[in-house]
């Protein structure tokens, strides 16, 4: 019975443990989605969009009539020559309504302004999301890069271990000296230290990624490594073409355009203060008094309901307000707003200029990275060929251990430079994809 239980437990663990380990493996898409869902800046920007929607709703509601009601109750005590003559109670009720017929198109322009601000806030939100996606891709690549270096470091340890084993065999039969053995032991120790450093870099990169995702840091956190990461070798990038694509796509460019239009609407709203305003007002009221006399005097009491019906009064009026002189308040407000409009236009130009400069820099960086990758690939191939020849010479006693280690270290150095150039070009191309609006996962 105990053996059956052990077999059952073993089978259960086979099915459970892969799921537990895989549950912590994150794809790039999962990382991006999580960052977008958990980022607090995005949540704040989303709240701003909701607020702008409320402003739009309110600006539309301003076209509707207002309606207010009021009610009052009074108590009066009548006294003459220190003698109470009685008490009187009275009530009054009224409904008031007002609707703006014309106010210099201010309500109409306010609706346009709030709608522009709403659309601009949505684009601001998209801009923040795009920046976060690009940052997540950057840090994700850093994890991949650190892991690639770690794999290379471990390969170097295996190679050094294998070489040390061979040298120790040669030393036993007198074909190699103790100095050769010690040199390879020193090389192996250095390679192991490189592994330790590389493991630390992987942990640091993973920490950065988890913090960017705004999730709890876990030692079991890992990412997918089986990605096809081969950058395209493109030597020349068309700056003007990418810039035009970016101007049509980048949310911050469109947002600034809308903000400028919003400032233009604000000028029109303030200019509306120079025009007359026409309002339609309505009022309906009634009242009750405990000492009121019935009109036909046939009843000793005048009921509450009857009084309210008999005392109904209605009033409807048109009010026209014409601005004549207001200490230049409206004029100065318009002038101040025109300055705000100029600043908004300048911000729009600054944003476009910065975009063009950033794209120019991104193109240069991508071209430099492409050239660097080509050069390091050629250097890597040549260094690998040189190392292979050096190994053959060393095996045949034509090369010293020191000379072989120099060749080996040169190859390791160039190999690391090649990996760095590869991931650098990948990120540079992702930056250009971001500007072109074609940023996607790998």
* Burial status of residue 398 (CB atoms within 10 A of its CB: 0-12, 13-18, 19 or more): exposed
Global pTM value: 0.84
Span 363-377, average pLDDT: 93
pLDDT of residue 231: 74
Per-domain boundaries in the chain: 26-38+104-275+326-436
Instruction: Give me the chain's average pLDDT, please.
Output: 89
Please give the Cα distance from 248 to 439 (Å, whole number): 15
Residue spans of beta strands (DSSP E) within 140-249: 222-223
Please give the Cα distance from 422 to 424 (Å, whole number): 5
pLDDT of 15 higher than 70? no
pLDDT of residue 289: 86
Cα dihedral angle (38, 44, 49, 50), rounded to 10 degrees?
Answer: 90
Among 1.10.10.10, 3.30.460.80, 1.20.1600.10, 3.40.50.300, name the CATH number for the domain at 26-38+104-275+326-436: 1.20.1600.10
pLDDT of 81 higher than 70? no
pLDDT of residue 303: 85
pLDDT above 90 covers what percent of the chain?
73
The secondary element (H helix, E strand) that includes residue 280 is: strand 277-289
* Residue the block writes with tokens 């450093």: 197
- Please name the residues in contact with 239: beta carbons below 8 A apart, sequence gap of 6 or more: 356, 359, 360, 363
* Burial status of residue 140 (CB atoms within 10 A of its CB: 0-12, 13-18, 19 or more): buried
pLDDT of residue 33: 95
Q: Are 359 and 435 in contact (CB under 8 A)?
A: yes
pLDDT of residue 438: 84
């Amino acid at each position: 019975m105990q053996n059956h239980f052990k077999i059952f437990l073993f089978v259960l663990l086979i099915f459970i443990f892969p799921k537990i380990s895989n549950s912590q493996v994150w794809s790039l898409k999962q990382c991006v989605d999580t960052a977008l869902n958990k980022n607090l800046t995005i949540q704040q920007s989303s709240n701003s969009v909701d607020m702008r929607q409320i402003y739009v709703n309110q600006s539309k509601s301003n076209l509707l009539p207002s309606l207010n009601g009021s009610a009052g109750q009074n108590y009066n005590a009548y006294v003459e020559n220190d003698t109470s003559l009685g008490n009187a109670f009275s009530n009054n009720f009224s409904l008031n309504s007002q609707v703006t017929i014309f106010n210099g198109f201010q309500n109409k322009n306010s609706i346009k302004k709030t709608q522009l601000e709403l659309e601009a806030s949505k684009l601001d939100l998209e801009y923040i999301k795009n920046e976060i996606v690009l940052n997540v891709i950057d840090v994700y690549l850093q994890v991949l890069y650190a892991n690639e270096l770690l794999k290379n470091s471990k390969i170097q340890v295996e190679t050094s271990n294998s070489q040390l084993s061979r040298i120790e065999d040669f030393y036993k039969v007198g074909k190699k000296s103790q100095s050769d053995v010690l040199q390879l032991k020193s090389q192996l120790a250095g390679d192991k230290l490189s592994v330790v450093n590389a493991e630390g870099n992987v942990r640091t990169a993973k920490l950065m990624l988890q913090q960017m995702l705004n999730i709890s840091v876990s030692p079991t956190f890992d990412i997918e490594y089986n990605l096809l990461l081969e950058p395209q070798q493109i030597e020349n990038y068309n700056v003007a073409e990418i810039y035009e694509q970016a101007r049509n796509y980048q949310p911050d460019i469109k947002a600034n355009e809308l903000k400028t239009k919003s400032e233009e609407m604000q000028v029109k709203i303030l200019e509306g203060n120079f025009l007359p305003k026409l309002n339609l007002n309505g009022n309906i009221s009634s009242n009750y008094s405990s000492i009121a006399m019935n009109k036909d005097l046939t009843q000793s009491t005048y009921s509450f309901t009857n009084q309210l019906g008999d005392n109904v009064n209605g009033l409807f009026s048109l009010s026209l307000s014409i601005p004549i002189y207001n200490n230049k308040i409206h004029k100065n407000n318009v002038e101040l707003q025109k300055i705000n409009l100029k600043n908004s236009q300048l911000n729009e130009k600054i944003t476009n200029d910065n975009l063009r400069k950033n794209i120019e820099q991104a193109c240069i960086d991508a071209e430099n990275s492409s050239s660097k990758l080509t050069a390091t690939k050629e250097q890597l191939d040549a260094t690998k060929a040189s190392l292979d020849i050096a190994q053959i010479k060393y095996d045949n006693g034509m090369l010293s251990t020191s000379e072989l280690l120099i060749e080996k270290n040169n190859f390791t150095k160039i190999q690391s430079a090649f990996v760095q150039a590869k991931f650098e070009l990948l990120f540079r191309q992702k930056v250009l994809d971001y500007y072109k609006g074609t940023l996607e996962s790998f």
